[in-house]
């Protein structure tokens, strides 16, 4: 028996439910805070914002890689890509060497929108970090990385650091 299973078995059903509720409440609260109102003034859906952020550090992605990063199926990804192309934020084409592969990339407008999104998010993170001393900042980053790894593992995905766009 693993230490994880022992930790679960040492809790009553009510303690387990309370723990799950506490995590869900905290995640919901953080989710609401991590997307400041300035982000909604960009006039994009949250799904579109998430899709744009996937391009941080990448010029071009295959549709399958983008769907993997977002954790959505290809039919959903195709619809999201249609919206990005219609909004002139992205463009796509079939790969010249393998016609089954569709490549998608951000247009100049998409890149500029991504820069704006990342500036907003960077300002929000700075508001948090300036309230902490160096040791607390390191602890905060480590805790977030651990949480990302746990969520990724639970969903069968590796966590991937998002690179800032300058």
Query: Structural domain tally of the chain?
Result: 2
For residue 32, what pLDDT is reported?
Answer: 73
CA angle 126, 128, 130 (to 5 degrees): 65
Task: Give the 3-state secondary structure of residue 60.
Answer: strand
The tokens describing 87, both together, are 């909004």
Residues 5 and 29 in one domain: yes
Residues 66 and 148 in one domain: yes
Look at residue 159 and tell me if it is in a domain.
no
Burial class of residue 60 (count of CB atoms within 10 Å of its CB; 0-12, 13-18, 19+): middle
For residue 65, what pLDDT is reported?
Answer: 92
Q: Is the pTM of this model over 0.85?
A: no
For residue 113, what pLDDT is reported?
Answer: 92
Q: What is the mean pLDDT of the chain?
A: 85
Over residues 26-39, the pLDDT tens digits come to 888 887 777 677 77
Q: Residue 60 contacts by C-beta under 8 Å, 6 or more apart in sequence? A: 103, 104, 105
Residues 24 and 81 in one domain: no
Confidence of residue 93 (pLDDT cuts 50, 70, 90): very high
Residues 26 and 72 in one domain: no
CA 26 to CA 164: how far, in whole Å? 25
Look at residue 111 and tell me if it is in a domain.
yes
The tokens describing 165, both together, are 């766009």
Of 11-15, 85-89, 114-118, 140-144, the one with minimum mean pLDDT is: 11-15
For residue 162, what pLDDT is reported?
Answer: 43
Does the structure show a pLDDT above 70 at 5? no
CATH number at residue 75: 1.10.10.10
Averaged over 65-71, what is the pLDDT?
A: 90
């Amino acid at each position: 028996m693993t230490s994880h299973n022992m930790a679960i078995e040492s809790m009553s059903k009510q303690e387990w439910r309370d723990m799950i509720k506490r995590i869900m409440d905290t995640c919901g609260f953080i989710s609401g805070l991590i997307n400041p109102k300035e982000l909604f003034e960009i006039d994009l859906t949250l799904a579109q914002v998430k899709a744009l952020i996937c391009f941080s550090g990448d010029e071009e992605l295959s549709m399958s890689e983008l769907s993997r990063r977002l954790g959505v199926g290809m039919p959903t990804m195709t619809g999201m890509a249609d919206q990005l192309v219609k909004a002139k934020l992205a463009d796509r084409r079939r790969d010249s060497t393998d016609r089954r592969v569709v490549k998608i990339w951000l247009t100049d407008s998409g890149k500029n929108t991504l820069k704006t999104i990342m500036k907003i998010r960077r300002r929000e993170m700075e508001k948090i970090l300036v309230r902490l001393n160096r040791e607390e900042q390191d602890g905060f980053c480590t805790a977030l990385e651990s949480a990302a790894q746990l969520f990724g593992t639970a969903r069968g995905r590796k966590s991937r650091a998002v690179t800032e766009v300058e």
